[in-house]
Amino acid sequence: MNKIVLITGATSGIGLGCARKFAENGDKLILTGRNEQKLEEIRKELTDKGTQVLTLVFDVRDREKATQCINALPDEWKAIDVLVNNAGLALGLEPEYEGSFEDWETMIDTNIKGLLTMTRLIVPGMVQRDRGHIINIGSVAGDAAYANGNVYCATKSAVKTITDGLRLDVASSAVRVTNLKPGLVETNFSNTRFHGDTERAANVYKGIKPLTGDDIADVAVYAANAPAHVQIAEVLILATHQGSGSVIVRK
């Protein structure tokens, strides 16, 4: 059965990979992001291939705008089957005692509070319909801190705990909850972390073949299409030469 899939942060990286993979699966897509032009480009790309796409322009940190957009969904789009909480970012790679207050606030407001906003807006309908699936994009960084990762690691640890808590809260229903924990994925993640320093960002991936957004999207689509009695609760996805968040063998 074709599903209605809402993906936050759908304009690049894992979010874009999920948009393309769920489209290939024949699903209808609600794509959200901050960049209206990029959303329109992706909408055109996917609709040209036969996918039904609705785009919503908002920042998940803006609870009021997010609420307005979700409440204003046309009736035929309201019964969301899959929520992919993908919007997130890392900013800075300094010791905690030298970190930027602004970077911390942006990460906490996006990675934690934004995810909670979308969950609060969409999951009640899933519980009422007794069906649905929430896929949160966490990180290997949520399992253990790495040097200079401090606050980012803390936000992804929060994603794990929030995901586990939600799974307990909906266990009496047929709603499923998944936490995907990628390791080293080559997206614009590092470029964002280093505030546009492309050369520094490129060094992150030197000497190792990293994961791609499509690799993570493959797992998301698999989890969403598992038999109804199967809940893929948590998946850690690493590059072959990555042992953990802090152990990467470069060749």
Cα 196 from chain centroid (whole Å): 21
DSSP run (H or E) holding 116: helix 115-129
Catalytic residues: 152
Chain centroid offset of residue 49 CA: 24
Identify residue 194 by its one-letter amino acid code: F
Taking residue 172's Cβ as centre, other Cβ atoms within 10 Å add up to: 9
Burial of residue 137 (number of CB atoms within 10 Å: 0-12, 13-18, 19+): buried
Is residue 194 within 8 A of residue 251, CB to CB? The reply is no
Top CATH class, 4-237 = alpha beta
- pLDDT tens track of the chain, all 251 residues? 799 999 999 999 999 999 999 999 999 999 999 999 999 999 999 999 999 999 999 999 999 999 999 999 999 999 999 999 999 999 999 999 999 999 999 999 999 999 999 999 999 999 999 999 999 999 999 999 999 999 999 999 999 999 999 999 999 999 999 999 999 998 877 778 878 877 887 888 889 999 999 999 999 999 999 999 999 999 999 999 999 998 999 98
Q: Is the pTM of this model over 0.75?
A: yes
